[in-house]
Structure 1
């Protein structure tokens, strides 16, 4: 049986590719199961420092596989709910940075994948829409990561109307990190992965968490907890290696050999 999700590893960067263009990389049960497997591999593989999520064809992901959903009529559980939450959680909680390289358009559930990633880069030609309400359903599961990216006004506008919006607007409202000309897509992704690979693995994982957790802390509590964390990191093996490498004018041991 043909794989719907591929994996590749080069220079510390694991690329996970959705490859089901006939149905616009829809979130079928089979694709989700394979995506979960490939993500689990990337998270457990020591050589992987950064993960890139991308797809083949002109569409990154069209959302739930509607044919599969319709075939499940009468069942108490929709097929997409079986493993989609697990996939979103694997991406969101990944201690390794995840960069979404959108090869094109994304709709509905596909935007959940985009929002769960730490970085998202798309060509200016891509378009986006939360189409759920027009199908009589709701952007329920994807609201969990998406509402952590979009401001409330933008979320209400696009969740409630289902209106199509372009990549420039997606970047403006926080869904994308960057929208670039199509011929600059790969260089923009390489810009992020190249910088991320230089960060200490433990430091990156901790920094991902503090970016999300610190805003919810009181000012005094935040300073207290972050002061402790700062001291821990400076005296950690990774911190000491980073300082030594800087002073010796060499790359830290965690940076994979390039070339």
Structure 2
């Protein structure tokens, strides 16, 4: 059941959706992507939902695609676009680690927060692929020089750096304290005002989807089918260095 992978609670108009597959570090599978898409669709239609908080169970927000059961690239792109287009603000609450495709979820959200110990990495290049479809929300919102470094090296970086480059709105030691004024502001804002303001803020991101989604989806599918990607994924699963590592 896909619903078992997404926890749902509500408090004073704020719906919290939790990625709830800690045994797999909330890796993106077809089932998890479908479950999150269904939950977001429910929130979008519910007039009692003022905003959505996207969070997680366990120590990892999302480890990226599950290499044993990855979602179809077009399904993942559709999920990212759904977050961007949702007529309710989506706030990411990260208290752990984010890797690869999980950073696409983060970038698609309107407001992003993380605890100080959280870490981030674009690990695609290390298994022989590229951060293709996640670039749709990332490139319009994040510092291009920083992305060049972290895309090309796969280095891990901390929450302070993530905030500096625009991946995070803010970071702090106590996420409840960090989020309190954000959620209070969203509750005090009119639904119409929130929807139309979000439309203004996401216009450039949606232009990127309209222009580049098909090409980047095709690129992702092509790269995952290559011998280098097969070696990189096998090495990752076997916990060894790939053949090209020096």
TM range (shorter): 0.7 to 0.9
2:72 and 2:183 mapped to 1: Cα distance? 30
Question: Hey, what does 2:100 align to over in structure 1?
Answer: 108
Taking structure 1 as reference, are residues 26 and 80 closer, same or farther at Cα in structure 2, changes over 3 Å only?
Answer: farther
SS of 1:141 mapped into structure 2: coil
Match of 1:137 in 2: 129
Q: Which residue of 2 aligns with 1:255?
A: none
Taking structure 1 as reference, are residues 80 and 24 closer, same or farther at Cα in structure 2, changes over 3 Å only? farther
Q: How does 1:224-243 map to 2 (within 5 A)?
A: none
Equivalence for 1:165: 157
Once the 2 structures are TM-superposed, how far is the Cα of residue 191 of structure 1 from its aligned partner?
A: 2.1
Q: Distance in 2 between matches of 1:201 and 1:156?
A: 37
Aligned length: 203
Whole-angstrom CA distance in 2 between matches of 1:100 and 1:200: 21
Structure-1-length-normalised TM-score: 0.75
**8 Å Cα contact 2:29-2:66 kept in structure 1:** yes
Q: Can you give the 5+ residue segments of structure 2 that lack an aligned partner in the other structure? A: 205-246
Equivalence for 1:10: 11
Task: Check whether the contact 2:93–2:112 (CA below 8 A) recurs between aligned residues.
Answer: yes
Greater C-alpha radius of gyration: 1
Tell me how far apart the structure 2 counterparts of residues 189 and 85 of structure 1 sit (CA, whole Å).
27
Please tell me whether the aligned partners of residues 163 and 171 of structure 2 are also in contact (alpha carbons under 8 angstroms).
Answer: yes
Given that 1:29 and 1:82 are in contact with CA atoms closer than 8 Å, whether structure 2 keeps it comes out as no
Q: How far has the Cα of 1:213 moved from its partner?
A: 4.3
Does the 8 A contact of 1:129 with 1:164 survive in 2? yes
* Deviations 1:138-183 (CA, angstroms, capped at 9, x unpaired): 11110000112111101111111111100000000000011101xx
Q: What SS class does the counterpart of residue 54 from structure 1 fall into?
A: strand
Please give the alpha-carbon distance, in whole angstroms, between the structure 2 residues aligned to 1:10 and 1:151: 34
Corresponding residue number in structure 2 for 1:211: 201
| 1:25–1:62 Cα contact (<8 Å) kept | yes
- Relative to the length of structure 2, the TM-score reads 0.79
User: Aligned residue for 1:52?
Assistant: 53
Give the gaps of 5 or more residues in structure 1. 70-78, 215-259
